Amino acid sequence: MEVAKALGLPLLEWHIKSTTKAQQGLYGTTRSAACAIRSSAIRACKTSHYIVKGMLWQAFTSETPVVLLIDEIDQGDIEFPNDLLRELDRMEFFVYETKELRQGGTAPMRLHHLEQTKKLPDAFLRRCFFHYIRFPDKETMEKSSRCTFRG
């Protein structure tokens, strides 16, 4: 992404699908965790070994500022953006499996890419600045991508 490149910051990309849950941006657990939790193997290993850090966790705890692209945020469930509001505002979340409150350091620059297929909730939109990028003309596309358009 050009914004991250221009700022000299690392880019984290979180691609949203219709099945994506806000929790996945924070963390998830490995498939083997469910089996281990049901068995005595959990006593031999720490629960934290089964935690997989999501993109928000990575962005919140990065030692340097990052650009976090939440790509196609409007593709998620209608409640998806609202489910993120508390974590995005406070930069903290609770990991229930380890009983830890995880707090962020430097706030990531968040970019939300919209396809405008669904309307986002007003509470979420009030926290955003909008910049519409029009589709480039034919000459610009040919210069930037070295493509030849036939038509």
Whole-prediction pTM = 0.73
What mean pLDDT do residues 37-60 have? 73
Whether residue 150 lies inside any domain: the answer is no
- The residue segments making up the domain with residue 77 are 2-145
Whether residue 28 lies inside any domain: the answer is yes
Judge whether 55 and 15 are in contact, CB under 8 Å: no
105-134: pLDDT as tens digits: 777 888 777 776 778 888 888 877 777 777
Whether residue 131 lies inside any domain: the answer is yes
Out of 11-15, 94-98, 101-105, 134-138, which region has the weakest mean confidence (pLDDT)? 134-138
Cα separation of 119 and 75, whole Å? 10
* 93 strand-pairing partners: 102
Contacts of residue 137, defined as CB under 8 A and 6 or more positions apart, other chains included, come to: none
The pLDDT value recorded for residue 112 is 76
Whether residue 135 lies inside any domain: the answer is yes
Whether residue 15 lies inside any domain: the answer is yes
HSE-CB of 40 using CA atoms within 13 angstroms: 0
Residue 85 three-state SS: helix
In degrees to the nearest 10, what's the CA dihedral of 83, 88, 91, 93? 10
- Residue 18, class by beta-carbon neighbours within 10 Å (0-12 exposed, 13-18 middle, 19+ buried)? exposed
What mean pLDDT do residues 20-46 have? 68
The pLDDT value recorded for residue 39 is 56
* Total domains in the fold of the chain: 1
Whether residue 42 lies inside any domain: the answer is yes
pLDDT confidence tier of residue 31, bands split at 50, 70 and 90: low
The CATH number for 86's domain is: 3.40.50.300
Whether residue 66 lies inside any domain: the answer is yes
**pLDDT of 103 over the 70 cut:** yes
pLDDT confidence tier of residue 101, bands split at 50, 70 and 90: very high
The pLDDT value recorded for residue 1 is 66
**pLDDT of 143 over the 90 cut:** no
* Helix ranges (DSSP H) in the chain: 2-7, 23-26, 31-38, 41-44, 55-60, 80-90, 122-125, 138-145
